């Protein structure tokens, strides 16, 4: 992923959000125009341990969970211009940017 972005001449700003956790405001701002559940890692062991239904969570609950357990955030997250992507998607979209 990183190599493909660099080959397309993107400059990268990396953040390890386990070492440098997000604040509530940062998460709220990051996901402001997005369906937050798309960025919740419901298949992760961390989420499964919670034994809750993702559909029962409101936006604030999801942010609370992500703040408490960063492993619940699907990653890597890519913000290109003003668009937010989950890094496990195919990179074919790069040709359109």
State the pTM of this model: 0.80
Q: Which of 24, 29, 25 is nearest to 67 (CA)?
A: 24
The pLDDT value recorded for residue 49 is 95
**The predicted structure's pLDDT at residue 9:** 82
**What is the extent of the structural domain holding 88?**
20-96
Low-confidence ranges of the chain (pLDDT < 70): 88-97
The Cβ of residue 36 has, within 10 Å, a number of other Cβ atoms equal to 19
What's the confidence (pLDDT) of residue 8? 78
Q: What is the pLDDT of residues 49-76, one digit of tens each?
A: 999 999 899 999 999 999 999 999 998 8
89 part of a folded domain? yes
Q: Supply the pLDDT for residue 88.
A: 64
Q: Domain holding 81: CATH number?
A: 3.40.30.10
| Domain count of the fold of the chain | 1
**Residue 10 covered by a domain:** no
| 8 domain-assigned | no
Q: Is the peptide bond before 73 cis (omega within 30 degrees of 0)?
A: no
């Amino acid at each position: 992923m990183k190599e493909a972005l660099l080959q397309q001449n993107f400059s990268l700003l990396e953040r390890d959000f386990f070492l440098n956790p997000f604040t509530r405001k940062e998460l709220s701002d990051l996901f402001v125009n997005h369906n937050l559940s798309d960025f919740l890692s419901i298949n992760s062991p961390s989420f499964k341990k919670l034994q809750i239904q993702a559909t029962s969570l409101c936006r604030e609950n999801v942010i609370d969970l992500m703040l408490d357990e960063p492993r619940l955030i699907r990653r890597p997250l890519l913000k290109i211009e003003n668009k937010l992507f989950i890094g496990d998607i195919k990179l074919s979209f790069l040709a359109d940017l």
